[in-house]
């Protein structure tokens, strides 16, 4: 559907270098990265608002690199909505339809349909200045969808909304995506949005794509230290790996971990806090790590309890309240941390 | 206002306001309504005012045609030499207006680079309406360009992007989004340009003393008959300008401001 080949672009303070991506038809693709990574610039290049310095962009096999935005059949929604302030909601939505030369009756019909889908029936005659953030977001979406785009490009569409509205609009965007069979490229710095919406995720930092994969791959098996830290992996250890048969031994400051992964020259190992079990007894197994340590801090996070255990290095462990009570965990208690070799992620 | 500094600022600011307002009010006070009515009966004065208004109108129109596109480019694009162009635009504001007149005469005069070939075709610039218009345009166009540029700068370029993503060409996006949103600035700029054109004297007298504009006529009356004859005409011109200026400014406030969404 969309193919981005070797795109390089410098613009103001942002730069993209050698970007390669492919997005399938009907896919919900999220580009995740910190502020200043070049996410918006990438989206604007796909839209045709700027042209790349190098590289090519294809939509449905057709080279659109230098095609004006009006001919790309895309819909675009900015974080701050960019509603036309001198037009009411209705005229904002009608804008694209008028540009297409549709008859007023057809425009009316399409607007009514969109107003239904996007839940903005009651505000069609209002001006953007008088709308709330959530309303503006819905209008911006309706306006983009009005022209029946093949691709919907979303630039941080949820980040200006409060938590409640965010959850609501997120659900609505997902529903729209499924109902209309849209191909969506959504850029965001929110892990939560990425995890909840994406079919696939690309991690972008400092103008470079670091990893592309399904959410569980990105979150469980980050390919490098930046990705690991950015997606919130807590137990990251630096050290050296040594492969022996089917098992990789990873040594980090007196710590010895076993991993089923085979990554050449791995420099880091990571274990997700929820993949670790706490036990009061030592369990010996070839496929398992079992490390002795002392409980250092306990933080109640509501449904889960965060326990930090010092095993020479600090491990963060998330356990349920039930097992927390059962094990009678308290600060200073000696425990064993148990986690599978397949959950020890190695990366460079 | 407990802060002392604000009190001092108000006192100094008050002096500034009085400095500007007093001479203007004084003209009306000393001339009186009878004086203004008397001046209205002076056919030459009326003719001179018409010349001024007409030339200022054309100067503004031409400034709009050539200035607004330039303002858009300056607001939207970065290119080498941009600050040089910006400095050139501001030049007419800083050079003495008689100097501007001389410079214009040297190029648009009978022997000038542009004036000479034009004269071959029977187009006379020196001592003509065209000459007055050119002199006015030269000194007043910077106002329009700068106001329009600020207006364009206040419109987020992403609004244009969105319009284009919805099927508009660049031209359509400019005319349906950017222009309506900056029309107020362009209008105020035009008003300032027009007002500046009316008030021009130095550059105009050098290139085209005739037909007499209002400021030229008032000056000639002053030289010949002194204050007694020139003050009523001055008051009359002042009165018309203030009325037009205020009414247009009020009209312009009817346009909504969109720069604060």
The ipTM, to two decimals, is 0.84
Residues of chain B in contact with residue A70, where contact means CB-CB under 8 angstroms, are 164-169
Contact (CB<8Å) B165/A69: yes
Q: Where are the domains of chain B?
A: 50-253
pLDDT number for residue B3: 87
Could you tell me if A161 and A43 lie in one domain? yes
CB-closest option in A48, A86, A143 to B181: A86
Contact (CB<8Å) B159/A144: no
CB-closest option in B169, B177, B256 to A70: B169
Could you tell me if A168 and A297 lie in one domain? no
Could you tell me if A19 and A149 lie in one domain? yes
Spatial neighbors of A19 by CB under 8 A, at least 6 apart, are A4, A6, A7, A8, A42, A55, A207, A208, A209
pLDDT number for residue B256: 63
- Asked whether residue A41 carries a pLDDT value surpassing 50, the answer given is yes
- The CATH number covering residue A102 comes to 3.40.50.300
- Asked whether residue B260 carries a pLDDT value surpassing 50, the answer given is no
Contact (CB<8Å) B164/A48: yes
Instruction: Describe the strand order of the beta sheet including A247-252 as a list of residue ranges.
Output: A240-244, A247-252, A255-259
Tracing tokens 């009414």 back to the chain, one arrives at B247
Contact (CB<8Å) B162/A147: no
Mean pLDDT score across all residues of chain A: 92
Could you tell me if A87 and A223 lie in one domain? yes
| pLDDT tens digits, A223-241 | 888 999 888 888 999 999 9
| pLDDT tens digits, A55-73 | 999 999 999 999 999 999 9
C-alpha torsion sign, points A70, A51, A78, A127:
negative
**Closest Cα of chain A to B226: distance in Å?**
54
Could you tell me if A290 and A343 lie in one domain? yes
Contact (CB<8Å) B166/A143: yes
Could you tell me if A241 and A214 lie in one domain? no
Distance CA B107, CA B119 (A): 12
| pLDDT tens digits, A66-99 | 999 999 999 999 999 999 999 999 999 999 999 9
What percent of chain A has a predicted confidence (pLDDT) above 70?
100
Asked which of A169, A200, A229 is the last residue of a domain, the reply is: A229
| pLDDT tens digits, B128-152 | 999 999 999 999 999 999 999 999 9
* Portion 23-62 of A in contact with B at CB < 8 A: 44, 47-49
Could you tell me if A224 and A260 lie in one domain? no
pLDDT number for residue B259: 47
Burial zone of B11 (CB within 10 Å; 0-12 exposed, 13-18 middle, 19+ buried): exposed
Residues of chain B in contact with residue A96, where contact means CB-CB under 8 angstroms, are 166-167
Residue A14 pLDDT level (bands cut at 50, 70, 90):
confident
Could you tell me if A222 and A282 lie in one domain? no
pTM, to two decimals? 0.85
Residue A259, domain extent: 235-347
Report which of residues B162 and A169 the model is more confident about. Answer: B162
Could you tell me if A249 and A203 lie in one domain? no
pLDDT number for residue B1: 56
Mean pLDDT score across all residues of chain B: 93
Across the A:B interface, residue pairs with CB atoms under 8 Å apart total 66
* Portion 141-160 of A in contact with B at CB < 8 A: 143-144, 146-147
| pLDDT tens digits, A258-306 | 999 988 888 999 998 989 999 998 888 777 899 999 999 999 988 889 9
| pLDDT average, residue stretch B205-222 | 94
Architecture per CATH, domain B50-253, reads as Orthogonal Bundle (1.10)
Could you tell me if A188 and A106 lie in one domain? yes
| pLDDT average, residue stretch B36-49 | 93
A128 and chain B: CB distance < 8 Å anywhere? yes
Q: Which range has the worst mean pLDDT, A54-58, A219-223, A305-309?
A: A219-223
Count of C-beta atoms within a 10 Å radius of residue B121 = 7
């Amino acid at each position: 559907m969309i193919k981005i080949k070797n795109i390089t672009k410098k613009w103001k303070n942002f730069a993209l270098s050698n970007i390669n991506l492919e997005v399938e038809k009907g896919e919900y693709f999220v580009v995740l990265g910190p502020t200043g990574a070049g996410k918006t610039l990438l989206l604007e290049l796909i839209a045709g608002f700027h042209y790349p310095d190098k590289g090519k962009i294809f939509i449905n096999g057709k080279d659109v690199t230098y095609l004006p935005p009006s001919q790309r059949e895309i819909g675009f929604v900015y974080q701050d909505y960019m509603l036309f302030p001198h037009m009411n909601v209705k005229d904002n939505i009608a804008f694209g339809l008028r540009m297409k030369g549709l008859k007023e009756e057809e425009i009316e019909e399409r607007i009514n349909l969109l107003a239904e889908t996007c839940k903005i029936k009651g505000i069609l005659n209002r001006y953007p200045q008088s709308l709330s953030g959530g309303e503006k977001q819905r209008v911006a979406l309706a306006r983009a969808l009005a022209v029946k785009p093949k691709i919907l490009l979303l630039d941080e569409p949820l980040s200006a909304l409060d938590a409640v509205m965010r959850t609501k609009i997120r659900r609505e965007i997902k529903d729209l995506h499924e109902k209309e069979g849209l191909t969506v490229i959504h850029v965001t710095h929110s892990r939560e949005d990425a995890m909840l919406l994406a079919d696939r995720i690309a991690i972008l930092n400092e103008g470079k794509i670091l990893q592309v994969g399904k959410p569980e791959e990105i979150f469980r098996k980050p390919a490098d230290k930046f990705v690991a830290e950015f997606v919130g992996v807590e137990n990251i250890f630096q050290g050296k790996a040594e492969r022996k048969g089917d098992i990789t031994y990873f040594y980090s400051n007196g710590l010895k971990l076993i991993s089923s992964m085979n990554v050449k020259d791995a420099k880091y190992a990571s274990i997700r806090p929820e993949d670790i079990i706490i036990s009061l007894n030592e369990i010996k197994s070839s496929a398992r790590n079992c490390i002795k340590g002392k409980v250092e801090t306990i933080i109640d996070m509501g449904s889960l309890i965060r326990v930090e255990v010092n095993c020479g290095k600090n491990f963060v462990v998330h356990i349920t309240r039930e097992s927390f009570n059962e094990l009678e965990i308290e600060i200073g208690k000696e425990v064993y941390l148990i986690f599978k070799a397949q959950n020890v992620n190695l990366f460079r | 206002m407990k802060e002392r500094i604000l009190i001092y600022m108000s006192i100094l600011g008050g002096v500034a306001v009085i400095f500007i307002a007093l001479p203007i009010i004084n003209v009306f006070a000393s001339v009186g309504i009878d004086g203004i009515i008397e001046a209205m009966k002076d056919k030459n004065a009326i003719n001179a005012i018409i010349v001024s208004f007409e030339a200022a109108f054309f100067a503004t129109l031409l400034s709009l045609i050539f200035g607004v596109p330039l303002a858009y480019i300056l607001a939207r694009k970065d290119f080498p030499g941009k600050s040089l162009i910006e400095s050139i635009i501001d030049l007419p504001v800083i050079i003495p207006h008689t100097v501007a007149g001389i410079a214009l005469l040297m190029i648009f005069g009978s022997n000038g680079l542009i004036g000479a070939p034009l004269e071959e075709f029977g187009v006379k610039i020196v001592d003509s309406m065209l000459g007055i218009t050119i002199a006015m345009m030269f000194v007043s166009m910077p106002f329009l360009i700068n106001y329009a540029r600020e207006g364009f700068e206040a419109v987020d370029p992403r609004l244009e992007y969105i319009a284009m993503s919805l099927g508009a060409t660049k031209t359509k996006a400019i005319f349906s989004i950017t222009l309506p949103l900056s029309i107020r600035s362009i209008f105020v700029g035009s008003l300032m340009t027009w007002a500046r054109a009316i008030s021009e004297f130095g550059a105009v007298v050098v290139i085209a003393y005739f037909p007499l504009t209002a400021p030229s006529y008032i000056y000639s009356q002053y030289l010949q008959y002194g204050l007694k004859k020139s003050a009523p005409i001055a008051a009359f011109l002042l009165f018309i300008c203030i009325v037009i200026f205020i009414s247009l400014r009020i009209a312009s406030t009817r346009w909504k401001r969109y720069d604060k969404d």
